[in-house]
């Protein structure tokens, strides 16, 4: 029996309407998947309490309006709480989790080892005794986050656009103090559960890939292939945002937005299906696209 094809995916978080940069990344994820015979999946990353169902519906409608198609219905992370809980329990039984009572300020102000990257967890709660954990719990008055007890400081992934990339792997959060699965856990578990073996997303997330690949290996899952694509920036050279003017599909209009996206990638076709016929990942722009509304 022929094994089912792998899959690519786009996974928006419905906290705001998609802007032209998000839409461009979605088109690229679709092009990468379809050009390699993969399924293309849509996943709504709605674990955060700042997300909204009505925004998710608008996002899906915008993506469909561009001409993107996906295999099966869009999935939502909030439909799978037991999936994440089972993995957390499994890691805990293996002795790979520890309670952490640190705030972001605690981590920022804590001394860290030489050459440790900015923001890396300094290991404050890693080796607390039971008595020290009880004292921390009493002192803070809040439930702890759960962090992964890693056995390496770095991990290397291969990216189709960036080549081999080695990044830091600290004792990152697996479950937040409020009980919500952390992004780095949820994305790995969801990708593995749905057969995603190709991850295409903005290059601002390249630094998170080593942590996620390390966790995938730890859980016994294949590490997906990565392609971190350049972001879309505003005229000032910073990340695009709603304050930069007409940046959403409703403001730009579908034909114009598709044309702008295609032009930014060097394509002449006025449709995403036409772009697929022209698609060559080796010829993609390597630098950011500076977007100027109008």
pLDDT tens-place string over residues 256-269:
999 999 999 999 99
**Residue 113 pLDDT > 70, yes or no?**
no
Section 163-184 average pLDDT? 97
- Residues of the chain within CATH 3.40.50.620 domain(s) are 7-79+230-290
Decide if 19 contacts 13 (C-beta within 8 A).
no
| Arithmetic mean of pLDDT, 269-274 | 96
Dihedral, 94, 11, 7, 88 alpha carbons, nearest 10 = 10
pLDDT in tens, 52-100: 999 999 999 999 999 999 999 999 999 999 999 999 999 999 999 999 9
Spatial CA neighbour of 102 closest among 134, 153, 147? 147
Cβ–Cβ under 8 Å, residues 149 and 97: yes
Does 3.40.50.620 match the CATH number of domain 7-79+230-290? yes
Task: Give the tens place of pLDDT for each residue, 195-228.
Answer: 999 999 999 999 999 999 999 999 999 999 999 9
Phi and psi dihedrals of 125, rounded to 5? -100, 5
Please give the annotated binding residues, written as ranges. Answer: 9-13, 45, 100, 102, 121, 125, 183, 201, 242
Q: Which amino acids are annotated as binding site for Zn(2+), given as ranges?
A: 100, 102, 121, 125
Q: Is 208 helix (H, G, I), strand (E, B) or coil?
A: helix
Binding-site residues for ATP: 242
Query: What contacts 196, CB < 8 A, 6 or more positions away?
Result: 6, 7, 8, 9, 41, 190, 224
Share of the chain above pLDDT 70, in %: 98
Query: Does the structural domain 85-175 have CATH classification 3.30.420.40?
Result: no
Half-sphere exposure of 110 toward its Cβ, with a 13 Å CA cutoff?
A: 17
* C-alpha distances out from residue 107 to 96, 100, 118, Å: 20, 11, 10
**What order of strands is seen across the sheet that includes strand 145-148?**
97-100, 145-148, 173-175
CATH 3.90.800.10 domain residues, the chain: 85-175
Q: What are the beta bridge partners of residue 168?
A: 154
pLDDT band at 114, cuts 50/70/90?
A: low
User: pLDDT at position 1, please?
Assistant: 46
Q: Which residues are annotated as a binding site for L-glutamate?
A: 9-13, 45, 183, 201
State mean pLDDT over 175-186: 97
Q: What confidence tens digit (pLDDT) does each residue in 28-46 have?
A: 999 999 999 999 999 999 9
Three-state DSSP class for 200? strand
């Amino acid at each position: 029996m022929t094994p089912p094809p792998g899959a690519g995916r786009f996974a928006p978080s419905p906290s705001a309407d998609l802007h032209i940069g998000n839409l461009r990344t979605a088109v690229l994820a679709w092009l990468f998947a379809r050009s390699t015979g993969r399924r293309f999946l849509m996943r709504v990353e709605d674990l955060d309490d700042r997300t909204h169902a009505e925004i998710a519906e608008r996002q899906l409608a915008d993506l469909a309006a561009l001409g993107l198609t996906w295999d099966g219905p869009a999935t939502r992370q909030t439909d799978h709480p037991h999936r994440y809980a089972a993995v957390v329990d499994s890691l805990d039984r293996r002795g790979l989790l520890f309670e952490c009572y640190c705030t972001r300020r605690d981590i920022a102000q804590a001394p860290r080892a030489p050459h440790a990257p900015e923001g890396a967890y300094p290991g404050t709660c890693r080796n607390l005794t039971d008595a020290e954990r009880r004292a921390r719990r009493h002192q803070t008055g809040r439930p702890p986050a759960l962090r992964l007890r890693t056995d390496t400081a770095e991990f290397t992934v291969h990216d189709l656009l960036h080549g081999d990339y080695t990044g830091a792997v600290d004792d990152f959060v697996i479950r937040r103090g409020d009980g919500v699965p952390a992004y780095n856990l949820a994305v790995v578990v969801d990708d593995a559960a749905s057969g995603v073996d190709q991850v295409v997303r903005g290059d601002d997330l390249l630094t998170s890939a080593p942590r996620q690949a390390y966790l995938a290996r730890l859980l016994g899952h294949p590490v997906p292939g990565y392609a971190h694509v350049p972001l879309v920036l505003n005229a000032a050279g910073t990340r695009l945002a709603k304050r930069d003017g007409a940046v959403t599909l409703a403001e730009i209009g579908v034909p114009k937005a598709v044309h702008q996206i295609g032009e930014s990638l060097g394509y002449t076709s006025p449709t995403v299906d036409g772009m697929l016929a022209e698609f060559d990942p080796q010829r993609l722009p390597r630098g950011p696209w500076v977007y100027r509304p109008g």
